Amino acid sequence: MSIGTKRLRAPYSATDTVTNTTAETAHTGVLSLPTESIRKGLRVDGNVQVIAPTTNSTDTLTTKVYLGPASAPETGILLSDQTAINVADGDVINHEFWFVVDATGTVSVATFSGGGLSYANGVTAVSKTRAFVRTTDAQVSTFADLVIAVTSTWSVQSTSNISRLATLDATLTPALPSE
């Protein structure tokens, strides 16, 4: 008997880019987690791919993945981040993340545990790993709609510095009936 695993994927858009800014900026593609889908024991496993189609000189790019409110996801829980890296034209940055809903509730009550890692093509090691357990956040409530979102930050403003969200997907596995 299936336990109702669900797959989410943000629609691809060639125009979902962050360009010419040094401010942390969210890409438009997100994964929506409506209130009714967030239950204790829910496990989310996800993947992100950001491509730098064009770059300027030795400018660096930092990308992050968040679970947070739709209005400002970057104020939520950091699921995965990648160390600022000097990317070249066509370079790819990948993130893998996972989390479990340990308890539902309002802001600063809902708890999550999980982790993430990031890596880039041409790099021989993982860029950054993160782990968290029983994390709460003043912006994250399971009684509200949440999103998984990706941000990009460039070290220098240049019209040549472009990061494009290529893939954002996740598999949602509900709690086992015994949980």
CATH number, domain containing residue 157: 2.60.120
pLDDT at 128: 84
Measured over the CA atoms of residue 174, residue 13, residue 164 and residue 154, the dihedral's sign is: negative
Look at residue 179 and tell me if it is in a domain.
no
Question: pLDDT digit string (tens) for 5-36?
Answer: 999 999 999 999 999 999 999 999 999 999 88
Counting the structural domains of the chain, the total is: 1
Domain residue limits at 126: 6-173
pLDDT at 174 over 90: yes
* Backbone φ and ψ of 54, nearest 5°: -140, 150
pLDDT at 97 over 90: yes
pTM of the model: 0.94
pLDDT at 79: 96
The pLDDT-based confidence of 122 (bands split at 50, 70, 90) is low
Look at residue 46 and tell me if it is in a domain.
yes
Pick the range with the lowest mean pLDDT from 33-37, 108-112, 114-118, 151-155: 33-37
The more confident residue out of 1 and 101 is 101
Look at residue 178 and tell me if it is in a domain.
no
How far CA 86 is from CA of 41, 65, 118, 173, in Å, comes to: 38, 19, 15, 36
Mean pLDDT of 83-88: 90
Look at residue 151 and tell me if it is in a domain.
yes
Look at residue 1 and tell me if it is in a domain.
no
Look at residue 88 and tell me if it is in a domain.
yes
Look at residue 161 and tell me if it is in a domain.
yes
pLDDT at 133: 85
Question: pLDDT digit string (tens) for 129-170?
Answer: 888 888 999 999 999 999 999 999 999 999 999 999 999 999
pLDDT at 2 over 60: no
